[in-house]
Amino acid sequence: MEYWSTMASLLGVFAFSQTLLQTLFPPELRVAIVKLFARFFSCFSSYAYFDITEIDGVNTNELYNAVQLYLSSSVSTAGSATTRLSLSRPLNSTAIAFGLSNNDSIADEFDGVAVQWEHIVTPRQLQSFPWRIFPEEKRGFTLKIKKQDRLFVILNAYLDHIVEKANEIRRKNQDRYLFTNPRGGSLDSTGCNPWEAVPFKHPSTFETLAIDPIKKRQIMEDLRDFANGNSFYQKTGRAWKRGYLLYGPPGTGKSSLIAAMANFLGYDIYDLELTEVQNNSELRKLLMKTTPKSIIVIEDIDCSIELSNRKMNVTNSVCENGGNSITLSGLLNFSDGLWSCCGSEKIFVFTTNHIEKLDPALLRSGRMDVHIFMSFCSFPALKILLKNYLDWDEEQEDLDGTTTLSELEESVEKAEMSPADISEILIKNRREKGRAMRKVLEALKLRANKKLAINGVSRKKDEDHVEEEQEKRAVENIKKRIEEHHER
């Protein structure tokens, strides 16, 4: 009984002391004292702290979202650096998202300076304003750095680096689209956009693309330099765009290369159908409605509209193209004029099966910076096809004991078959790998023999033509000598 009486007395003294302290030290004074002590101890602390809250006032802090994305990529590769991770999977996504757990921390490094991030989550006292509902928890990141590292000098560079990486992650994670212009350049029913889009799900990548490995590596390096060249293009005063011309026989992989480029860079594709566009004005409207980080494609440029005669006037163009009045100058302004600078980080890709039909004005640097010849299937490209369709690897000499690589190499160089033709044979016979190899070799030899026979006939015609010319010249020489003899 005496014990409980003592406890009651102590609680009474505590309550009285608390009331007295609240009277003598109002909340404003207590906050001021806490800030004063914090400043005092910060003078002796070797660290500096920067807070980034989820909500800045009543608005969402975009820097918080950028830091969250940036750290999620760091956490996924941090291994044992963190003791607890937060895992999530967005709706309709197969990718697992990593994140910092509540009140956990992770170390990072930038430009040789070590930093530490802490994810702080506390209950929110004020739940909402009448016009805005806030989350129940208050979230934020705290950046901890050593003062001696003088990160104040590079803080802006570090935050810019975080924002850039976050934008890159967003671009890779977001859905990409394939756009087309079914109504030419006219606006839709809402008057907003002449483009219609479908999700872009093409599986082509540079790993599966059946072209020469050296050429493939050169294309990838050029694309990588372009995507990372913002500062270069600003320094040189050039528009941040690049033009590619893909030319070669049908079935050599021009469309697959475009899809691989889009997957490699994470860009959208705008497939421009020129025959649907009525005039240069509509062409400009289409260009203005394209977004940055995109690939604008005009396939079979030699077949779309008549562009070989740069002096062609609008009247003739309308008559010859069934009402289409796009001129060569309009297309040149589209790819390399003032209007081509609408937005940044764009790639223009033209394809053709007959490069000789194009006007030289379309081919010069600045419009088509990179010319890529898509050739018939070579032996290195054939090995890529065998790997894709038959799971063949370099250590295997053959797949059926009869078809050797040396036979394939000798035949493929003579046959001049497109990768599409060879792929079709492999698809039909992919269940029996040995049969597939034999069928490919038979097709290659058959095509090579036909080509040899055609060349032989052509050569025979050329030889006969040479003989005829020689006989004609001989007859003419005899007639000339006879005439000279009679004159004498």
pLDDT at residue number 141: 87
How far CA 225 is from CA of 172, 231, 265, in Å, comes to 18, 11, 11
Alpha helix (H) residue ranges in 314-396: 314-320, 328-336, 360-363, 379-390
Rounded-to-integer distance, Cα 254 and Cα 258, Å:
7
More confident residue, 307 or 292: 292
Q: Which residue type sits at 298?
A: I
More confident residue, 124 or 443: 443
pLDDT band, very low/low/confident/very high, at 129 (cuts 50, 70, 90): low
Rounded-to-integer distance, Cα 220 and Cα 206, Å:
8
Q: What is the pLDDT of residues 22-41, one digit of tens each?
A: 666 666 666 666 666 656 65
The average pLDDT across 295-311 equals 72
CB 225 within 8 A of CB 206: no
CA 60 to chain CA centroid, Å, is: 29
CB 434 within 8 A of CB 404: no
Candidate from 37-41, 101-105, 133-137, 313-317 with smallest mean pLDDT: 313-317
Point out which residues pair with 373 in neighbouring strands. 247
Alpha helix (H) residue ranges in 337-432: 360-363, 379-390, 405-415, 419-428
Q: Which CATH class is domain 178-184+193-310+325-373?
A: alpha beta
Rounded-to-integer distance, Cα 416 and Cα 151, Å:
61
Looking at the predicted structure, is the pLDDT value of residue 206 above 90?
A: yes
Task: Map residue 130 onto helix, strand or coil.
Answer: coil
For CA atoms 225, 226, 228, 233, give the dihedral sign: positive
Point out which residues pair with 180 in neighbouring strands. 196, 271
Q: What is the pLDDT of residues 67-94, one digit of tens each?
A: 888 887 776 555 445 556 666 665 545 5
Looking at the predicted structure, is the pLDDT value of residue 214 above 80?
A: yes
Numbered ranges of CATH 3.40.50.300 in the chain: 178-184+193-310+325-373
Looking at the predicted structure, is the pLDDT value of residue 132 above 60?
A: no
CB 125 within 8 A of CB 115: no
Rounded-to-integer distance, Cα 4 and Cα 26, Å:
32
CB 368 within 8 A of CB 243: yes
More confident residue, 300 or 125: 300
Please identify which residue in the block is written with the tokens 């008549």: 306
More confident residue, 235 or 459: 235
Q: Which residue type sits at 218?
A: Q
Q: What is the pLDDT of residues 275-297, one digit of tens each?
A: 888 888 888 888 888 888 899 99
More confident residue, 175 or 442: 442
Looking at the predicted structure, is the pLDDT value of residue 340 above 80?
A: no
| Backbone region of residue 38 per phi and psi (left: phi > 0; alpha: psi in -120 to 50; beta: other values) | alpha
pLDDT band, very low/low/confident/very high, at 124 (cuts 50, 70, 90): low
The percentage of the chain sitting over the pLDDT mark of 90, rounded to a whole number, equals: 18
Looking at the predicted structure, is the pLDDT value of residue 178 above 70?
A: yes
Looking at the predicted structure, is the pLDDT value of residue 351 above 90?
A: yes
Q: What is the pLDDT of residues 142-173, one digit of tens each?
A: 888 887 766 666 778 888 888 888 887 777 77
pLDDT band, very low/low/confident/very high, at 477 (cuts 50, 70, 90): low
Please identify which residue in the block is written with the tokens 């934008």: 167
Task: Map residue 358 onto helix, strand or coil.
Answer: coil
CA 35 to chain CA centroid, Å, is: 50
Supply the mean pLDDT for the chain.
77
Tell me, yes or no, if the pTM score tops 0.75: no
